[in-house]
Amino acid sequence: MKVEKLILDGNRVADDMKEQLVVRVKELSGKGIVPCLATILVGDDPSSATYVRMKGNACKRIGIHSIRVDLPSSTTTDELIAAINKLNDEPTVHGILLQHPVPHHIDERAAFEAIRIEKDVDGVTTQGFAQNAFGLADYPSCTPAAILAILEYYNIPIEGKHAVVIGRSPILGKPVSAMLLNKDATVTTCHSKTTNLEDIVRLGDIVVAAVGKPKFVQGDWIKPGAVVIDAGYNKGNLGDVDYDACLKNAYAITPVPAGVGPVTIATLLKHTVEAAEKCAI
Just list the catalytic residues: 55, 99, 122
Phi, psi dihedrals of residue 115, rounded to the nearest 5°: -75, 125
Helical pair 46-62 and 260-280, crossing angle rounded to 10 deg: 50
Phi, psi dihedrals of residue 87, rounded to the nearest 5°: -75, -35
- Rounded CA gap, 89 and 95, in Å? 12
